[in-house]
Amino acid sequence: MSVRTSPGAYAPKPGAAPLPRMIAAQAVLETKMLLRNGEQLLLTVVIPALLLVLFGSVDIVDTGEGKAVDFLAPGVLALAVMSTAFTGQAIATGFERRYGVLKRLAVSPLPRWGLMTAKTLSVLVTEVLQIVLLTVIAFSMGWSPHGNPLAVLLLLVLGTAAFSGLGLLMAGTLKAEATLAAANLVFLLLLVGGGVVVSLDKFPDAAQSVLGLLPIAALSDGLRDVLQHGAGVPWVDLGILAGWAVLGLGAAARFFRWE
């Protein structure tokens, strides 16, 4: 333990690494931590894939006219975005805050916005992996998507922004344990009441108009309009997601506590 180091080995030579290198290193580490965490994988990969396969092959939920997978795939993609950008990010960030990781990184050369950029990159990388996996499964079940890929991309990006804002708001204000419980509860409630696998048409009219304003409902409805029905750009749903993104990210920027 007491290996002497040659004199001068510790002579100061301070300096920050170039910003892109710092952000890339941070994004790689964040992604590794996420993929190493079993509970997170359950949430982000296993549950969406299972729902797609289960409800696509067994006639349990009413998927309306046409192939079940055409109804289910857009909802499950929306769920995948929520599971990573909201639930996973909230829980991980909540515990990083609790264990002083955010505090320690705050005095490193990596600026705070750099850390947030890396977190976003890590969320996006995870989402790409999820979408590839779910798309392959859906295609193997005979999925035939329609519509403008650009509209889909826009929905996914705005959905990610909206859910990230809400997830970070939760992680930065609540205790880690409370975040863990609340993020899982919200995931479950939105899974049922957000038009993911159960069409909002099944709910009473009054409930529908409220539920329709939820970010998960806007995302799954927008994706379904485009991918299942070949609609153009779903402006209303994009508007709802943009509203949540501004609200969530704004509140997170204002109220997020690093310690």
Partner 1 sequence: MRSDPVVQVRSLVKRYGDKTAVDGLDLVAEAGVTAVLGPNGAGKTTTIEICEGYRKPDSGSVSVLGLDPVREGAALRPRIGVMLQSGGVYSGARADEMLRHVAKLHAHPLDVDALIERLGLGSCGRTTYRRLSGGQQQRLALAMAVVGRPELVFLDEPTAGLDPQARRATWELVRDLRVDGVSTILTTHYMDEAEQLADDVAIIDTGRVIARGTPEELCRGGAENTLRFTGRPALDVASLLKALPADSAAVELTPGAYRVSGKVDPQLLATVTSWCAQHGVMPDRISVERHTLEDVFLELTGKELR
Chain centre to alpha carbon of residue 211: 19
Residues that bind partner 1 (CB under 8 A): 1-5, 7-18, 21-22, 25-26, 29, 32-33, 36-37, 95-96, 99-101, 103-104, 106-111, 259
Least separation in angstroms between residue 118's CB and partner 1 is: 11
Nearer to partner 1, 74 or 94 (CB): 94
**Whole-angstrom Cα distance, residue 203 to residue 168?**
30
> Closest separation between CB of residue 104 and partner 1, Å?
3
CA pair distance 233, 255, nearest whole angstrom: 33
Three-state DSSP at 58 gives coil
Least Å from the CB of residue 18 to partner 1: 8
Q: Which one, 24 or 157, has the nearer CB to partner 1?
A: 24
The single residue listed with the structure tokens 């798309």 is 135
Residue whose CB is less far from partner 1, 21 or 146: 21
Q: Is 142 left (phi over 0), alpha (psi -120 to 50) or beta?
A: left
Six token digits for residue 198: 């159960």
Contacts of 95 (CB under 8 A, 6+ apart): 176, 180
Which residues, 6+ apart, have CB-to-CB distance to 158 below 8 Å?
A: 238, 241, 242, 245
Minimum distance between the CB of residue 34 and partner 1, rounded to whole angstroms?
9
Is the Cβ of residue 38 or residue 204 nearer to partner 1 in the bound state? 38
Structure tokens at 210: 């409220």
Minimum Å gap between C-beta 35 and partner 1 is 10
Nearer to partner 1, 53 or 125 (CB): 125
